[in-house]
Structure 1
Amino acid sequence: MIRNPILPGFNPDPSFCRVGEDYYIATSTFEWYPGVQIHHSRDLVTWTLVARPLNRAGLLDMRGNPDSCGVWAPSLSHADGRFWLVYTDVKRLDGAFKDAHNYITTCETIDGRWSDPWYVNSSGFDPSLFHDTDGRKWFVNMQWNHRGNGTGGNPAHASFDGILLQEWSPNRGLSGEITNIWPGTDRGLTEAPHLFRRDGWYYLTTAEGGTGYDHAVSMARARDIRGAYETHPNLHLMTASNDPDHPIQRTGHGQYVETPDGQVYHTFLMGRPIPGADGTGRFCPLGRETGIERCVWGEDGWLYLEGGGLLPREEVPGLAEAQPASPAASEHVFDGDSLPMEFQWLRTPEHERIFRLGDGALTLIGRESIGSWFEQALVARRQEHHVYEAETEVAFGPETYQQGAGLTTYYNRHKFHALVVTDEPGEGRALRVLSCPGDWPDAALTQFPDLARLAPGPVRLRVEIDRAVQRFSWAQGDGDWQRIGPDLDASVISDEGGRGEHGSFTGAFVGMLAYDTSGRAREARFTRFAYRPR
């Protein structure tokens, strides 16, 4: 059986692609670098991260991109003996306008050097490329209407102005008529179009209802690629909006694939909400994850979930006898010359300015403050479990309170908790807990009064997450672990934290950070990092 989610932690907007007996899923990475995660599987049960293709400045430079901007909704396909990747680099989130620039890159192998991109247009976000059987290629995208009431954290239907279709080729770019092929259903916020062809029909799947709890996969079809498109008799292929108690929520935005023997699967993004610290509310610290469902074709020529209804299942029949891997600890000593695959950093293609590997350590170079949109020395990995602990060891000699390095749980500039080694006036080298507990729009910084004065030498730092509760502790040498700071609200580090639903779109990370707002680029040496599900 396949157990959902198949890609736990922040892995939204899954584009699904089959090449022979190999399956690939590309997911959004937003402001995290390198851009786009691509996982591979042969059985739909076990998935391995194999590539992050947008890994140089010529393909992606997000310095200055606001939180939750950057790479939205990639679309991966295979045609003409090569992979094609469509992606959007969003430069603005708040306000009526969206600056969403769309590109295409290509590569013969999934993990090779991807081509310099073709710029396509900026009409909207979440585009895809459809390769028709006659060899023509079609660019499909939503159209953003800045005149509609769809600003900031509360998008409205009027800003999502239908799905556009136009022919595209590598030599000519976009050409021919632009056709608005489908306005969507009454659920609105119609985006993320994907086309496929079957039995003389063109089928269009889209995401609707926003990225929160009203999310859905909707479907339409037409005999001609330009329409007119008729809507699925159920309007939606899947949604969890009518069942708030279902363990899988926020269901939407995925893509259709057939296996070589004709079995049918559809990916979707999903969330697994848990109660807040006071036992009420619901939040998704793991962000939007990737799930998969098995589908069937009805006698009416429409696609339906195999189990009936609109709710995706937690367990789905797979292709072969294979067991999902049990949660495993991940432990690294930084004795190599490359960053372990699970780690990413923020925005910049010039990673050598914020970190380097060698001499038995990951050295972070203190640059701008926590939450900078330009040059922030933060190397982190996704939270993939509701209960876990993470641990690191750092050698750092601050000379001023403007310098800090340590361990953080991080969502964005106004949603993080951090335990940092710094220099406290009159105290010397010490540990302090910093927190930005979802304050919006001021991003106010909380500095807890608890201090731990440090002896010379490296410091071990640990964070423990138990659903909505977070605790920091520290140790030196062979000493025992000691708590520092209060119990912290881990629900802040989630999509729903701060400004709430539709306000941010990534997920919780845990990792190592350094900053030096004095401009002296003080360095911190991290020798190991461990992440352990509990």
Structure 2
Amino acid sequence: MHLVNPVVRGFAPDPSVIRVGEWYYLATSSFEWFPSIPLFRSRNLADWEHAGSVGSAVPGSSLLGVPDSAGIWAPALSHADGLFWVVYSIVRSIGRRYFDLETYVCTAPEVSGPWSEPARVPGHGFDPSLLHHDGRHYLLNLQNDSRVGGRRFDGIVLTELGVPVVEGVPDVAGVRAAGPTHLLLQREELVEGPKITVKDGWFYLLLAQGGTGVEHGVLVARSRSLTGPYEVDEVPLLTSRDDPAVPLQKAGHGELVRAPTGEWYLTHLAARPVATPGGPRNPLGRETAVQEIAWVDGWPRLAQGGWHPQTAVTVPDVAAPPPALLGDSPAGLDVAPAWPWSTLREPAGDWIDTTSRPGWVRLRGRMGPESLWEQSLLAQRLTEHRAEIEVAVDASPTTHTQSAGLVLWYDTASYYRLHVTWAEPAGERQAGQQWRGEGRRVLVLEHGHPDGSRVLATVEAPDGPVLLRAETDGAVARMFAGAARGDLGSVEPDLDLSELSDDFGGRLRFTGAFAGISVVDLVDGAFTADFSAWTMRVLPREEWRR
């Protein structure tokens, strides 16, 4: 059978894959989003379903205050001693000399949990992974030299970890460094994301090279000894940097896995660009793809030859039901706040009420869209370049500090939101909260931008619940509003959806575009709004186009 890449679509970067029995398991980065560390499983590498998350990954369950695109970077899955293991870094600074990060390990008897409380380990940088070999445990890391004049990507290091055993089970709470740290490899170019695969007496070190943009790739080194020296294969295993016409761009950050029938495969991240006047951009973020591997003269190579990722890949013919991740999304507000819904910087809390009004979800407003703290935002990943999103909102704001509605979101500096709010009578100037008078209920289309937010349109809101709609098509998005579906009118102008991407804004950004609902109350966090009839329809996977 054939799979169609990407296999996990829409903001699923830095995939780490393992196989346990007949199942493959996959973890991806979550950055500032909850649930932390989404987990997926598949029996055939083509059809993936959500399998839970590492709910205990963040100490105190709070990433409040972390910058956009910080948080949990590059978790790595492994399995040993009857347990699933995950190691990851929480990055608290970005674009600075210091990453201010901690590295943690959690374990669970099943991938669905329960996951242990995180145990901190001595991390030298982000992108950790674990190697379990001959009954011992080793931590691989990128090394960061944060000194003035130091290199932020200064090689790959390895440290043995001591893990006590209590009643025959590893006790991760007592994990510690059990020996010196070994430098495995240093290169002038940027290398990160180390993973080791042991095969035929060789230790194969897979590295993400060139950064996570269009120069990204997968480099392989090998050694007969775990601690090196490592010989580098200067031919890349995977990259699309030399050909902008390859449909899957930014290909890199890979990990090897072996099928039960003996074939080898590589999971990696990639992105599907759309053309814009500013160059290719990727509003869907970096996604997860799979490639078939052949071994040639002791080195892994793409089975089809060359190093460009393919969109169609042969995999073992194992039947599996189609996942709910793709095509028309059945995940309406009836499942909120569970997957595929996500929240910013903290898990869903008491600001979400799913019981007070049958058929509706009530959100209590909190901070505004540019806050790094308590936002009342509930959103789903965009998984295709064409989508239709609808939701009804019932809200009665009485001040400009209250609003509720639909959002297209990348981060606190890049978003579009169509919100029901309050405004002074037409023709009256803005006069703050002290304005006295009747006012009016309006719909405001606001554009969050790195250079400062702006209002694109203000229109009168119809009486009663308002139906809001967004349509996306490649780099373009459009907003609509009305009292009912047959009454929808366009809220001009057209929007540049490609701004909701890593490739816009001139700073480090690593996530992907979301669509969702949000409520704001800047005064006392008491204003509520009700939402119903959420739908998100996307173009079927076979029909995506650049």
- 1:114-139 CA distance string (max 9 Å, x none): 0011101242001001000x100000
Structure 2: gaps spanning 5 or more residues: 165-174, 426-438, 540-546
Partners in 2 of 1:193 and 1:59 — Cα distance?
28
Counterpart of 1:465 in structure 2 is 472
Secondary structure of the corresponding residue to residue 273 of structure 1 = coil
- 1:196-227 CA distance string (max 9 Å, x none): 21111111101010010000111111111111
Amino acid at match of 2:343: W
Secondary structure of the corresponding residue to residue 377 of structure 2 = strand
Counterpart of 1:240 in structure 2 is 240
Give 4+ residue runs of structure 1 displaced > 3 Å after superposition: 55-60, 147-150, 321-327, 331-336
- 1:484-523 CA distance string (max 9 Å, x none): 13111111111112125xx100000000011111224211
Judged with a 3 Å threshold, the aligned counterparts in structure 2 of structure 1 residues 395 and 176 are, in CA distance, closer, same or farther, namely same
1:380 and 1:512 in contact (8 A); partners too: yes
Partners in 1 of 2:518 and 2:240 — Cα distance?
37
Partners in 1 of 2:82 and 2:268 — Cα distance?
27
Counterpart of 1:342 in structure 2 is 340
Counterpart of 1:313 in structure 2 is 310
Partners in 2 of 1:346 and 1:233 — Cα distance?
40
Partners in 1 of 2:402 and 2:492 — Cα distance?
20
Q: Where do residues 434-445 of structure 1 align in structure 2 (5 Å cutoff)? A: 434-437=446-449, 439=450, 442=451, 444-445=452-453
Question: Identity across aligned pairs (percent)?
Answer: 37
Partners in 2 of 1:281 and 1:48 — Cα distance?
33
Counterpart of 2:7 in structure 1 is 6
- Superposition RMSD on alpha carbons, in Å? 1.8
Judged with a 3 Å threshold, the aligned counterparts in structure 2 of structure 1 residues 71 and 322 are, in CA distance, closer, same or farther, namely same
- 1:400-445 CA distance string (max 9 Å, x none): 00111100100001110010000112241111101113x2xx4x11
Amino acid at match of 1:284: N
Counterpart of 1:511 in structure 2 is 516
Q: Where do residues 171-250 of structure 1 align in structure 2 (5 Å cutoff)? A: 171=164, 172-184=175-187, 186=188, 188-234=189-235, 236-250=236-250
Partners in 2 of 1:192 and 1:263 — Cα distance?
23
Judged with a 3 Å threshold, the aligned counterparts in structure 2 of structure 1 residues 57 and 200 are, in CA distance, closer, same or farther, namely closer
The answer to whether structure 1 residue 352 and structure 2 residue 359 are counterparts is no
Judged with a 3 Å threshold, the aligned counterparts in structure 2 of structure 1 residues 149 and 329 are, in CA distance, closer, same or farther, namely farther
1:283 and 1:491 in contact (8 A); partners too: yes
Counterpart of 1:290 in structure 2 is 288
2:52 and 2:111 in contact (8 A); partners too: yes
Shift of 1:391: 0.6
1:393 and 1:460 in contact (8 A); partners too: yes
Counterpart of 2:172 in structure 1 is none
Shift of 1:354: 3.0
1:99 and 1:122 in contact (8 A); partners too: no
TM-score, normalised relative to structure 1: 0.92
Partners in 2 of 1:2 and 1:335 — Cα distance?
31
Partners in 2 of 1:8 and 1:209 — Cα distance?
23
Partners in 2 of 1:479 and 1:55 — Cα distance?
45
The answer to whether structure 1 residue 482 and structure 2 residue 480 are counterparts is no
Judged with a 3 Å threshold, the aligned counterparts in structure 2 of structure 1 residues 211 and 478 are, in CA distance, closer, same or farther, namely closer
1:452 and 1:484 in contact (8 A); partners too: no
Partners in 2 of 1:460 and 1:446 — Cα distance?
23
Amino acid at match of 1:245: A
Amino acid at match of 2:468: L
1:331 and 1:529 in contact (8 A); partners too: no
Secondary structure of the corresponding residue to residue 491 of structure 1 = helix
Partners in 2 of 1:408 and 1:162 — Cα distance?
41
Amino acid at match of 1:470: A
Counterpart of 2:275 in structure 1 is 275
Amino acid at match of 2:412: R
Counterpart of 2:428 in structure 1 is none
Shift of 1:394: 1.0
Shift of 1:353: 3.7
Counterpart of 2:442 in structure 1 is 430
Amino acid at match of 2:157: L
2:364 and 2:525 in contact (8 A); partners too: no
Q: Which moved more, 1:195-204 or 1:165-174?
A: 165-174
Shift of 1:321: 6.1
Shift of 1:308: 1.0
Secondary structure of the corresponding residue to residue 309 of structure 2 = coil
Aligned residues: 511
Amino acid at match of 1:303: P
Shift of 1:189: 1.8
Partners in 1 of 2:497 and 2:270 — Cα distance?
20
The answer to whether structure 1 residue 493 and structure 2 residue 492 are counterparts is no
Judged with a 3 Å threshold, the aligned counterparts in structure 2 of structure 1 residues 478 and 145 are, in CA distance, closer, same or farther, namely closer
- 1:261-305 CA distance string (max 9 Å, x none): 2100010100111111x4x5110010000001000111x211111
1:354 and 1:375 in contact (8 A); partners too: no
Judged with a 3 Å threshold, the aligned counterparts in structure 2 of structure 1 residues 243 and 149 are, in CA distance, closer, same or farther, namely farther
Shift of 1:84: 0.2
Partners in 2 of 1:287 and 1:217 — Cα distance?
19
Counterpart of 2:543 in structure 1 is none
Judged with a 3 Å threshold, the aligned counterparts in structure 2 of structure 1 residues 148 and 354 are, in CA distance, closer, same or farther, namely farther
2:36 and 2:58 in contact (8 A); partners too: no
1:450 and 1:485 in contact (8 A); partners too: no
Partners in 2 of 1:328 and 1:102 — Cα distance?
36
